[in-house]
Amino acid sequence: MLLVIDVGNTHITLGVFDKKELKGTFRMTTRQSRTSDEYGILMCNMLEYRGIQKELVDDVIISSVVPDVMHSLISSVIKYFNTKPYNVGPGCKTGIRINAINPKEIGADRIVDAVAAYELYGGPVLVLDFGTATTYDLITEDGSFVAGITSPGIEISAKALWQDAAKLPKIAIEKPDSILAKETISSMQAGLVYGYIGQVEYIVKKVREESGIENLKVVATGGLGKIIADETDSIDVYDAQLTLKGLRIIYEKIKKSRGRE
């Protein structure tokens, strides 16, 4: 089995694949103060809870945008799974060409999402990831990463409201029944959700206009992305597990490049 680990700014998401079948997913908060033993025991307990024996994990692949956690996390994989993990980074075989001024500035999570969207849904494709930040990445028909847009995530926007405006309360992020809000909570929800829907629709429209790509498919992922995807025709596919699937695909490409079956 393959253990895939996606380290984001807010959460670490893990998945276990038996060939192409995703057997289970897990999440933990991203904390820089964990030791290798804490990571190892947490991961082993999560696997055991789902009835997956850690001894069945043959390989591990990691993508990370949080460098400070990597030493402990890699050490935990070596110690508890008895294997050195693959790490998505410069020089890694992905099948995606990065056409950027500084390719090293493109986060590993964005590369993984791009690989998954391109391999699973084809190009040209615009990949939206609703994470801590919301990213929009354009992949052409020949598999080139040619442009990326970054905006504050929905949760960041929500926190800015209730942290910086003294009289505004902390709220659940959900679409209210009407945009014509009559009290504070639904007013904030309307601004956040409908405002974000508007952002998505406008950015997708401008990408189509400036790229000249008419047959552009739009694929979205990320926890809060489902709220937006359900409310707009600008998103063609919502795939909650896109990043984990991308890690599996990259792992298979690495194995193939190294002559392994």
Residues assigned a catalytic role: 109
Q: Which helix or strand (DSSP H or E) is residue 256 part of?
A: helix 242-257
Contacts of 199 (CB under 8 A, 6+ apart): 134, 151
* Whole-number Å distance between alpha carbons of 95 and 253: 8
* Whole-number Å distance between alpha carbons of 33 and 30: 9
* Whole-number Å distance between alpha carbons of 102 and 19: 34
106 touches 138 (CB < 8 A) = no
Q: By three-state DSSP, how is residue 42 classified?
A: helix
Degrees (nearest 5) of the Cα angle 216, 154, 62? 70
